[in-house]
A = this chain, B = another copy of it.
């Protein structure tokens, strides 16, 4: 199968990452190249989106191409299970949607973050993987509960812009409180990318908010191969001490994945897991990162988000440049 997809950071090699970052840097600032004239990207959103939607459409338009946007409310309900007897609510199978769209568009982006059952089920990214399997055009992961690779590459680009060298730097990936249960996608993706870059990653979270074991192990292997490291720390202050990058985001509890009320109960006692100026002072003058959207004054205070070390809008902007690089690699 020669079709290339962009689904996961698990497949990414260091040379591929460097190529993407170099191409993204070249894309930045040069708006009107027409490298994708006549190409269309179909995007399917099964959940709301601001950054992903607008940054991809901006990227395609600036490259001379076009986006066709489909939201779940424009669509029939879709069946992802192979061999299903479709006598329920789903009106069309992903098989047919993927093969049909492959006749129309040049690439297909899919955001599918919804919880549909247990973590064991949702970590398989059924909907995204089904699209990738049945499409004959490249499929791009626009975020699942397991991975958000476009975000993580934009994050790497942002770190590279603000720090002279990434290898050996201390990055703390910090769990924050949040009223809703969130996806693990951005966390898993930046964890693997930072490991690949040889950073010293501290994954900081309260007990019970462990990330996926396979991803953690893989990130450790990647880090060791690049003279970096990955460790887990459950004490907030210890985790932030000496951090050169503080990457904050909430993520869900995989153990109570299908029981959000129980997760909410656990989180009531975790309100100190929040980034504020006091916490920032424990770091080594860390860059503050967050993939957005952020719950202001819950996950992080206004003061730090709007403070001098925050690079959250650079992260958002770099989505455009990185996605141009991804699209050019897949479509040219």
Contacts and interface: CB of A to CB of B under 8 A. Distances in A.
A171 B295 CA distance: 49
Interface in A75-101: 75-76, 79, 83-88, 91-93, 95-97, 99-101
A213 to B, nearest CB: 28
A86 B302 contact: no
B294 A96 contact: yes
A70 interface: yes
Given A58-B68, A93-B296, A53 B40 contact: no
Contacts of A61: 40, 66
Interface string A283-298: 0000000001111111
B50 A75 contact: yes
- How many identical subunits does the complex contain? 3
Contacts of A38: 31-32, 62
Given A48-B75, A58-B68, A298-B85, A292 B100 contact: yes
A103 interface: yes
Contact of A74 (B53, B97, B101, B179): B53
A55 interface: yes
